[in-house]
Amino acid sequence: MKFGIKLRVGSGTTEHRLEFRTGAANHASGGQLQFSLDGETEIRSADWVEIAPGAYSILLDGRSYEAWVSVSPTAAGSREFSVTVGTHRYRVELQDPRERRHGGVAGAQQGPQEILAPMPGKIVKVLVDENQQVAAGEGLVVIEAMKMQNELRAPRPGRVEKVYVAAGVGVETGTKLVRVVS
């Protein structure tokens, strides 16, 4: 199987190509796999086993890693996962080249992202206008909640396609605030 991968950790993103296959001796929840990264000719092996739903113990040349996979709640239809390995959290976005070929559901790695209110509160200030370009980490909206003011920021660079709220408006958890298109 082949995947194009966008790997995000912290505020940096790198892109990779991963080719891997599981061996004949595999059973349903563990076994050996072989892989090659970024077109390198070296093929490596890994031993894997599922330890809990979505959790994998992976041995890479004897070194032990535990990876916890959860589906990222961003866009439906994209294959973006939040994977925790040790104390680090990675965002792994997968693209299966076969889907492109058959015109199936394309991984929505770009596309609109709705920024939602994380909890009930009141909009203090809207920091952007529609059609404004924003950088990753740039402030979009200031919300007051739980007696504190907090600035919500753009998770990645893009253009503000729509602003749903204005200063003074009360919001609930999940209320749409801003749509950013990458």
Would you tell me which residues interact with other proteins (CB under 8 A)?
Answer: 1-3, 5, 7, 9-10, 12, 16, 18-22, 33, 35-37, 39, 41, 43, 46, 48, 50, 54, 56, 58, 60, 63, 65, 67-70, 79, 81, 83-88, 90, 92, 94, 96-98, 102, 104, 118-120, 145-146, 148, 150-153
Identity of the residue, 75 or 85, whose beta carbon is nearer to other proteins in the bound complex: 85
Is 3 or 164 the residue whose CB approaches other proteins more closely?
A: 3
Contacts of 103 (CB under 8 A, 6+ apart): none
* Residue 44: CB atoms within 10 Å: 13
Nearer Cβ to other proteins, position 51 or 110? Answer: 51
Q: Which is nearer to other proteins, 63 or 129 (CB)?
A: 63
Minimum Å gap between C-beta 131 and other proteins is 25
Region at 102 (left for phi over 0; alpha for psi -120 to 50; beta for the rest): alpha
CA distance 36 to 152: 39
Rounded to a whole number of angstroms, the minimum distance from the CB of residue 65 to other proteins is 4
